Amino acid sequence: MHTDLTLEVEREPALDAVPLAVAATGLPGGHSGMDIHLNRGNAIRMLAQTLRAVCDAVPIRICAFEGGDKHNAIPREARAVICAKKDSIPAIQQILAAQQEELRSALPDGDNGFRLDAASHPSTVPPLDPPSSLRLLQLLLALPHGVLAMSRELPGMVESSTNVANARLRHNLFSVLTSHRSSNPAALRDIAARARAIGELTGAQVSENTGYPPWQPDPSSPVLQPASSLYEEMFGKPPLVTTVHAGLEGGIIKEHYPHLDILSLGPDIEHPHSPFERVRIASVARVYDFLRRLLSRLAQQG
């Protein structure tokens, strides 16, 4: 499911302040389902944490904020433009340096390219007023991100998670998209209800989509046994039979045709929904050959 939150904000001139661009970059991102258990950094949340740390020490106001891209990708980068008095810039730079080290130390090794950079900016856009600047950061910091529950039936498998996927400040509207996943429909509704409550507490307008359903694994699946046997015949080893914390078309199809037996398979894809995404070309041919032979065998079995 997705939750969209839209916060109305107010702007007012700041005649004695200078604009400063702040960027959170260098994170690997990744698929918000398949990679969520890796605890990778979320650039939107980390930039919000940084700006709140600055706010606690130096009066600032936000002029612009933008981060994230796809609903199913962990945000790799986020950028903001803030304004502050010129004599406070050195203090802000010191806070950013400290925040960079503190946040980086809490990240997994693959995220050690994380950076916080600041530079002068030619912005002429009036900043948000102080209450709006604070509410924007409060909304981002209150929304949960990451693994919320592990499966009790399938050890090591994520049951529920959520991803603060993108955030955009446009004129007088600040919009945030969060994406929720769970193999437990009741847990999925609860995550969405939490996001709604957080949005309403900060004064945001909230809307939700209906999402799409999971389907439960069936160890006695009539297709699984012949598929596993054929795989071992063709490749000399048993297949990896598992569930995934990601949306697949099978769930949508089974919702409409509940009597169907469904099996999902695919080629070897690495680092999905990141600039490093790639597919092993030879595995595409293997999947095609396997599927063709599996269909033939199932047809012969009637």
Note whether 22 and 146 are same-domain residues. yes
Radius of gyration of the CA atoms of the chain, in A: 23
Note whether 56 and 162 are same-domain residues. yes
Note whether 108 and 6 are same-domain residues. yes
Note whether 156 and 259 are same-domain residues. no
Note whether 248 and 204 are same-domain residues. no
Residue 182 CA: distances (Å) to CA of 4, 11, 134, 199, 209: 18, 38, 31, 21, 15
159 residue type, one letter: E
Q: Report pLDDT for 296.
A: 95
The CATH number of the domain where 106 resides is what?
A: 3.30.70.360
Supply the pTM of this predicted model.
Answer: 0.87
Contact 67/166 with Cβ under 8 angstroms?
Answer: yes
Q: Report pLDDT for 69.
A: 87
210 compared with 280, residue with greater pLDDT: 280
Tell me the pLDDT tens digit for each residue of 250-287.
888 988 998 899 888 989 998 887 788 899 999 999 99
Note whether 189 and 43 are same-domain residues. yes
Domain that holds residue 63: 2-208
Query: Is a pLDDT exceeding 80 seen at residue 292?
Result: yes
- The mean per-residue pLDDT over the stretch 51-68 comes to 96
Contact 204/139 with Cβ under 8 angstroms?
Answer: yes
218 assigned to some structural domain = no
Distance of CA 62 to the CA centre of its chain: 23
Closest CA to 196 of 246, 138, 136, 139: 139
| Helix (H) or strand (E) segment spanning residue 5 | strand 2-8
Residue where the block lists tokens 């960079």: 100
Taking the C-alpha atoms of residue 221 and residue 77, their distance in angstroms, rounded to an integer, is 42
Note whether 32 and 116 are same-domain residues. yes
Domain-terminating residue out of 208, 238, 272: 208
**Residue 71 — pLDDT band, cuts 50, 70, 90?**
confident
Q: What percent of the chain has pLDDT over 70?
A: 100
Domain-terminating residue out of 149, 174, 208: 208
22 compared with 185, residue with greater pLDDT: 22
Q: Report pLDDT for 180.
A: 95
Count of structural domains, the chain: 2
Closest CA to 285 of 264, 302, 268: 268
272 assigned to some structural domain = yes
- Share the mean pLDDT of the chain: 92
Contact 176/187 with Cβ under 8 angstroms?
Answer: no
DSSP of 101-126: HHHHHTS-GGGTT-EEEEEE----SP
Q: Which two tokens stand for residue 43?
A: 């650039």
